Structure 1
């Protein structure tokens, strides 16, 4: 299954919440992404049906072995791109927004070059 940008955003946000709070719930995802709870419900159903997440009875969401690598890759790209833009003098708020847009589409070659340039700095 091809995973879409919106699915990557949801998986990334679940990872961020898990790392920040130790748990992720639909209401937290809706609030942090600025979307409606019904939108999150539809997305979580699709992600669960495709094996990217699991949901416990209490509403807690976790990433599966299939979903975690996608979330990690997307989040790592986001952090690296943000750091890169900030190193160029871009305001951090703008850098984060731009990173969020680019993280889904940048080629592996371009991303590797950015990551390598940051490691050398």
Structure 2
């Protein structure tokens, strides 16, 4: 899966935790992406079985989508904590960098960070 798809899934998860309903426009606003770009990404996620979109345009994660989104979100949270604790950077800096790292970090390194943080 490409980084953008992972970002969409994570954003859908976060938005669904805040609001009952999520639409493509909500994802576009949250990420600062164009509506056509998000529509294309949503279409790919739908055809790959990560999401379903009802006739009103509301997006819901499938079990496969929830699993992937939760995995990405866990990486984001743990990496943010790790960067704040070890590099002593601000939450904002840690969040920004964690968002970049979460898409490329190996499972081995991530598990090592989790062990280091005792999570």
Partner of 1:97: 96
Measure how far apart 1:22 and its partner are: 2.5
Partner of 2:111: 112
Find runs of 4+ consecutive structure 1 residues off by over 6 angstroms. Answer: none
Measure how far apart 1:58 and its partner are: 1.6
TM-score between the two structures when normalised by the length of structure 2: 0.93
Q: Write the mapping of 1:1-121 to structure 2, written as runs, cut at 5 A.
A: 3-88=1-86, 89-119=88-118
Deviations along 1:20-66, one digit per CA (max 9) or x if unpaired, are 22321111100110101111111111111111100011211011122
Structure 2 gap ranges (5+): none
Deviations along 1:86-117, one digit per CA (max 9) or x if unpaired, are 11211111100100110011111111111112
Structure 1 gap ranges (5+): none
Partners of 2:56 and 2:15 in 1: CA distance: 16
Partners of 2:61 and 2:54 in 1: CA distance: 11
User: RMSD of aligned C-alpha atoms?
Assistant: 1.2
Partners of 2:117 and 2:80 in 1: CA distance: 11
SS of 1:16's equivalent in the other structure is helix
